[in-house]
Amino acid sequence: MPWNEETTMSIKQKFISIALQEVDNFSELCREFQISRPCGYKWLTRFKKTGLEGLKDRSRRPVSSPLKTPMIIEQMILEVREKHPAWGARKIFAYLTRQGKAGLPDPATITRILHRYGKISKEDSLDRKAFKRFEHALPNQLWQMDFKGHFALGTGRCNPLTILDDCSRFSLAVKACKNQQEPTVKDVLTEVFRTYGMPERMTMDNGAPWGHGYGAPGFSRLEVWLIRLGILTSHSRPYHPQTQGKDERFHRSLKAELLKNKIFTSFEDAQQKFDAWRHMYNTERPHEALAMNTPATKYQVSPRKYAEKLPEIEYGLGGRVRMVKNRGDIDYKGQRYFISESMAGLPVQILDSQRDGILEVYLCSKKVREIDLINKISARKID
C-alpha cells in the first residue's frame, strides 16, 4: 500500500473546508483530524481573518523580549572583553559596576552573551577552576617572588621577575630582567624596598639565585642579604610549586592577559608594557579573591623602612658566637661544623635546644642550622 503523504498545510485546508460547511458536531470533526477543539477554533478564526496566510505555522519566538539585554549594554560588555580577553563574566560585571554603569545583567547572563558572540572558547571554560588558598591577614607579612620563565627579544632574552604581596595580591614588581642572577635580583629588590618598605618574610623556590637547589647544603648570598636586613626567608617544598600558589596564579594572569597577546621589541618596550599592565592589575582589574575589589584597595606600604647600610650583627647574652670561616664552617669544641659558604666572615650564634645533643645555629634572628653533638655533624639546613 503506497504511503499517502500529506503536508500540515493540506490537512489544515481540508479541515477548514469541512468546518465551513457548518457541520453538526465540531468536536467530532476535531477528533477525526486528531486536534483539540481550541486548536480547531484557532485555525478557523485565523482563516476567516487572513485567509490561507493565517494557516501558516507561526514562529514561537515572542514578538518582544522585555528581559533581553539592550544592544548598548552588550556592546559595552564586548568592548571590555576585547580590551581584556582573559577576563571572565564576574570581572567584567565588577569592573563596569565600579564604572557606574547601570542596567547591567548578572554575571551568568554576561557569560551567555560572551558565548553567543563566540568570545569564550572551550579552553577558557576548562581553565576556570575555583579553589581556596590560605592567605596572611595583613599586607607585607609575606611576599612571594619568582621568575616567569624567559622569552626571546631582538637583543637577548627577557626574564620577567615578579614580586607579589600574599595578603592583598598587590603586584610589587614585574621587571624585565636580562638574566636571573643574584646582582640583578638584588637591584630589583632594593628598588622595591625603597618604594614599598620591607616585608616580614619572603618565600621563593629552591633554585638560583635565591636558593642552592634541591637538597643543597648552603644558603645563597641573596638569602643571607635578606636575613641581614631582618627579613625571614623560606622556600617552597621541592617539586611543589603550588606552595607559592598566589605567585603561580599571578603568572597565569600575566601570561593570559599580556605575554601571549603582545610583541616585545626590546627590554625597554617590555618594561613599558609590564608597567602599564601592572598598574591595570593593581588599580582596575577586579580580583575574585578580594570580593572583586582591586589589590590597591587592600595594600598598604610597609612601615619597615629599607636600611641603605646593613646593620651590624649583634647577639644577646646566653649564646656562644662563632665566626664562619672561608669554607663556610665553624669550630666548636674541637669539631668543625659546616654552616654555609655565603656566610663566610659573619658571626653566628649557637644556642641550646630543647632536645638533648642538638644545638641551634642562628644568623641574626634566622635559625640556619642544627648541630648534632652526638654524631658530630651539622644536622640539617633550616628553611
- Tens digits of residue pLDDT in 58-100: 655 555 555 567 888 888 888 888 888 778 888 888 888 888 8
Domain ranges of the chain: 8-55, 71-125, 143-297, 320-381
Rounded Cα distance between 145 and 163, Å, is: 4
**pLDDT computed for residue 323 by the predictor:** 95
| Average pLDDT score, the chain | 83
**pLDDT computed for residue 114 by the predictor:** 83
**pLDDT computed for residue 158 by the predictor:** 94
* Confidence at 214, pLDDT banded by 50, 70, 90: very low
The answer, yes or no, to whether residue 131 has pLDDT greater than 50, is no
| Contact present, 111 and 120 (Cβ < 8 Å) | yes
The answer, yes or no, to whether residue 45 has pLDDT greater than 50, is yes
HSE-up of 121 (CA within 13 Å, CB side)?
A: 5
| Contact present, 341 and 381 (Cβ < 8 Å) | no
Q: Tell which wins on pLDDT, 211 or 156.
A: 156
Rounded Cα distance between 189 and 298, Å, is: 21
The answer, yes or no, to whether residue 3 has pLDDT greater than 50, is no
What's the whole-number mean pLDDT along residues 341-353? 93
| Contact present, 161 and 147 (Cβ < 8 Å) | yes
The answer, yes or no, to whether residue 126 has pLDDT greater than 60, is no
Would the pTM of this model clear 0.85, i.e. be above it? no
What's the whole-number mean pLDDT along residues 297-302? 94
The answer, yes or no, to whether residue 301 has pLDDT greater than 90, is yes
- Read off the pLDDT of residues 136-191 as tens digits, 9 standing for 90 and up: 679 999 999 999 989 998 778 999 999 999 999 999 999 999 999 999 999 999 99
**pLDDT computed for residue 1 by the predictor:** 35
Q: Tell which wins on pLDDT, 136 or 287.
A: 287
CA 348 to the chain's CA centroid:
40
What topology does CATH give the domain 143-297? Nucleotidyltransferase; domain 5 (3.30.420)
Rounded Cα distance between 99 and 93, Å, is: 10
CA 256 to the chain's CA centroid:
10
The answer, yes or no, to whether residue 238 has pLDDT greater than 70, is no
